[in-house]
Structure 1
Amino acid sequence: MSLEKSNKIGVGTATIIGMNAMIGAGIFGITSLLASKVGAAGILTYLFAFFAVWFIAQSIARAAYLWPEQGSFYTYTRQWGGHTMGLIAASAYLLGFLFAMTLLCRIIGEYLHNLIPSVSAEVLGTITLTVLIGLNMMGAVLSQIGQYILIACTLFPLIATTFLCFTKMSPVNLNPFMPYGIISVIEGTRVAIFGLFGFESVTALFNIVEKPEKNVPKALLYALCIVGIIYFFFISSIILAVPLTVFTSNPDATIPQALQFLFPDYTFIVHLINFAIISAMLGTVHSMIWAGSELLLSFCTITRSPRLQKLVKNGTITQKTTVLACGLIIFICFKNIHNKDLFFTLTDIGLIFPYITTMIALLFQQAEWKSGQNIKTILGLTTACIIFGISIHKLIEPMIL
């Protein structure tokens, strides 16, 4: 028993793992769009997104505890929708995941364009994506040291930008607070939630955490709170310091461009922040292409297709071939979808759909109703459906106008 316990991790380690899963480069892509679409009220939008994620995460953690098997969203959804519905949920999650990576590649191109203005962001993004796919094809993955460098490259610009912007904050930038109306505050949630995706990774820790029923929800709470606070101050500092016109005149404005406007004499620091953000994004996409290939490989193993199972068994479908498949999907999306706002919409639809199908599975468990656990599930399901509905509306809006 002592040996088994020694292999388990505590709440502290689980919290750090959760933070690493959530703190990602996505936060650097949402702030300018959030400010341009919502205005200063984007602070409220982020808070709504945070509480929505909190209730969704609690529900998914509960599902992971009840069904700790391979397949995650496929396994959860299968409990009520069967094999076909499970595959649909798993496919949606994979597609949402790949849309998110494509969006990051597009944002990387914009950040690199700041450094190399003579080359278009489209070309720089294409080159970046090609190189990252090639590295993954060669089996190059981030080492443990690389992971530490990645988290440092993410935290440094978050903390440095927050500190710099708070020295320039002015209540004048809060007026007008809600220039596009209260509806924009709710609609902006589909953008704000992008920076919090990854929380579902924490729920995979049940098999390695001591007293998982008690400690995984704790780790999830601590990780969400710490990351949520960091993000809140980051977004708030930018909105309080940068005049809204900077973002409305250019919705694609990067964080370094906003900082250069505020601190024209701090060129070195701004370039350093720009370099750190680019490094964080590159590391994130590099790691996530590999993670996406593992998701696809897992998808191929859980499907009932004899052909796919045979291809996996005889070694035709391997990690390398799934890397190539994921890379091709990202590349096709990158070359054919140019609207960043559409990427946020597609990512939300892909990722939130399996969240919803997972929470529905909990509603079919009588014990959950008796224990009162489904109060959290209903709250999570309600907020998820609101964001999902907004994303669907944004997707079909051009077709009905």
Structure 2
Amino acid sequence: MSSQGTEPKLRRELTLIDAISVGLGAIIGAGIFVVIGLAAGLAGPAVVLSVVIAGISATFTALSFCELGASLPKAGGVYEYGHTLLHPLVGFVMGWIWVSGNIVLGATASLSFGFYLASAFPWVDPKLGAVALIATVTVVNILGAKLSAGVNNVIVAGKVLALVVFVLVGLSSVNPVHFQNFMPGGFGSVVTAAALFYFAYIGFPRISTMAEEIVEPEKNIPRGILAALFISMAIYVAVAVVAVGLVGYEALASSTAPIATAAEQLGVKAVVEAGALLATFSVVLTSVMGQSRVFFAMARNREIPSSLARVSEKFGTPVNSILLSGAIMLVLALTVDISGLASLTSFSVLFTHMLTNIAAIKLHGIGSPKKSYAIKRVPLHAYIGAVLSLALALSLGAATILAGLLNLALSITWFYFYKAFSKNQG
């Protein structure tokens, strides 16, 4: 483990391609392969519009992440931004809630992997598939960030290719009839679906959590975030149009593997199933990668047990943090309903995105960021991102909001009790 008396640090060895791939690995997963069905059930054919609204909202916040990631290139992402620019308590709350949401995201993706595996091989139990995936990605993460990134690069290429094949083969078979009665639930349902589908975009901040391991972070973090987000948005819109146009929104809403259901009409179901397996694999892989770095940053600041900040001298990874991430994810995958998981994840991440935008506003107040997207020195993107994030979070329903607020209260309780406990011990 890392030597005593020095601050634990991670190896800076990930390139721009690695950063983009981490973003795509985190973004393209359960959202398009599973949550698109839940969103279609709310918005009808206008789910295509929901996909666009969610993407636009994510873009404003992504610009804030670009500035913050370039200016504060340390492990921990949102945790580091809140801790440095707002207040240690706010930073801890942001890190806690972000990790909660992303652990839930990983659990959801692992279950999605199980469902698609069972779709291809009916004799496989979906939860067994989820367990096997979590165990595998935990081991890969322990073996090194560069190895994890390399595995992820290959998987990302495969899943993007599968979605491109689906779109190209399916375009000529799109039936305009399926877009009649475009907005059956009204615009409010479209916004609610957008809030839920925001789940499909939330992977782009994963790049910022790896900031301490990315070479030339001032350049490569903003480039990686924006490239990953815009590539994902283009793919999502195309897939949504083709999927609705092939089978209609009702069929998507009633399926646990909606894109595979649409692909069956084209005779390319096997290709999509393979793409879904690769997609969910990479989401879980990068989920563990991101969560563990936030745990690492928290432990380095002695806000959770310091053993979680230990870095393996052999692998250069925070092994204990990785094991904790995998263990919590495994418990959730085995115990919680997938629809509830997706909604709570969206709320958690939207809440931290609101605070991240506030941190970006504060960054502009104390000096020029490394890369400014402000108009006349006013960070409009951050103000808009904060408002949109809050609005989408509040549209997710009372039960989800209550669960999110309870998690917020739990994070504050931990912060003060652990601080008092550590003081008494020291």
User: Normalising by structure 1, what TM-score?
Assistant: 0.81
Are residues 1:355 and 2:360 paired?
A: no
1:255 to 256, 259, 267: 259
Distance 1:363 1:71, change over 3 A: same
The aligned residue for residue 165 of structure 2 is 160
1:105 to 101, 110, 119: 110
**SS in structure 2 at match of 1:179:** coil
The aligned residue for residue 418 of structure 2 is none
The aligned residue for residue 94 of structure 1 is 99
Listed one character per residue, the Cα deviations across residues 147-193 of structure 1 (whole Å, up to 9, x for unaligned) are 33212221122101111221210110001211222111000112222
1:309 to 306, 311, 315: 306
What one-letter code is carried by the residue in structure 1 that aligns with 2:341? Answer: F
What one-letter code is carried by the residue in structure 2 that aligns with 1:286? Answer: L
Q: Which moved more, 1:29-38 or 1:201-210?
A: 201-210
The aligned residue for residue 413 of structure 2 is none
Listed one character per residue, the Cα deviations across residues 103-129 of structure 1 (whole Å, up to 9, x for unaligned) are 001111111111222344234333443
Paired with 2:396 and 2:322, the residues of 1 have a C-alpha distance of 28
Distance 1:157 1:137, change over 3 A: same
* Contact in 2 for aligned 1:74/1:86 (Cα 8 Å): yes
Paired with 2:79 and 2:64, the residues of 1 have a C-alpha distance of 15
Listed one character per residue, the Cα deviations across residues 317-361 of structure 1 (whole Å, up to 9, x for unaligned) are x833222211221122112211x2211122122222222212222
Are residues 1:25 and 2:29 paired?
A: yes
Distance 1:38 1:142, change over 3 A: farther
* Contact in 2 for aligned 1:15/1:223 (Cα 8 Å): no
The aligned residue for residue 89 of structure 2 is 84
Q: Which moved more, 1:70-79 or 1:177-186?
A: 70-79
* Contact in 1 for aligned 2:21/2:156 (Cα 8 Å): no
Q: Which runs of no fewer than 5 residues in structure 1 stay unpaired?
A: 1-6
Distance 1:353 1:40, change over 3 A: same
Counterparts of 1:120-269 in structure 2, within 5 Å, are 120-133=125-138, 136=141, 142=147, 145-202=150-207, 208-209=215-216, 212=219, 217=222, 220-248=225-253, 250-260=254-264, 262-263=265-266, 266=267, 269=268
What one-letter code is carried by the residue in structure 2 that aligns with 1:353? Answer: F
The aligned residue for residue 328 of structure 2 is 329
Paired with 1:8 and 1:115, the residues of 2 have a C-alpha distance of 37
Name the count of aligned residue pairs.
377
* Contact in 2 for aligned 1:93/1:350 (Cα 8 Å): yes
1:53 to 58, 65, 83: 58
Distance 1:173 1:209, change over 3 A: same
* Contact in 2 for aligned 1:96/1:348 (Cα 8 Å): yes
* TM superposition shift of 1:132: 4.2
* TM superposition shift of 1:70: 4.3
**SS in structure 2 at match of 1:391:** coil
**SS in structure 1 at match of 2:87:** helix
Distance 1:103 1:223, change over 3 A: closer
What one-letter code is carried by the residue in structure 1 that aligns with 2:390? Answer: C
* Contact in 2 for aligned 1:108/1:125 (Cα 8 Å): yes
* TM superposition shift of 1:384: 0.7
Paired with 1:210 and 1:349, the residues of 2 have a C-alpha distance of 28
* TM superposition shift of 1:218: 6.0
Paired with 2:74 and 2:135, the residues of 1 have a C-alpha distance of 34
* TM superposition shift of 1:396: 5.0
What one-letter code is carried by the residue in structure 2 that aligns with 1:337? Answer: V
Q: Which runs of no fewer than 5 residues in structure 2 stay unpaired?
A: 1-11, 369-373, 404-426
Paired with 1:47 and 1:233, the residues of 2 have a C-alpha distance of 11
The aligned residue for residue 4 of structure 1 is none
* Contact in 1 for aligned 2:310/2:318 (Cα 8 Å): no
Are residues 1:34 and 2:33 paired?
A: no
The aligned residue for residue 410 of structure 2 is none
* Contact in 2 for aligned 1:18/1:220 (Cα 8 Å): yes
* Contact in 1 for aligned 2:18/2:149 (Cα 8 Å): no
Paired with 2:328 and 2:199, the residues of 1 have a C-alpha distance of 20
* Contact in 2 for aligned 1:87/1:303 (Cα 8 Å): no
Identity of aligned residues (%): 19
Distance 1:312 1:151, change over 3 A: closer
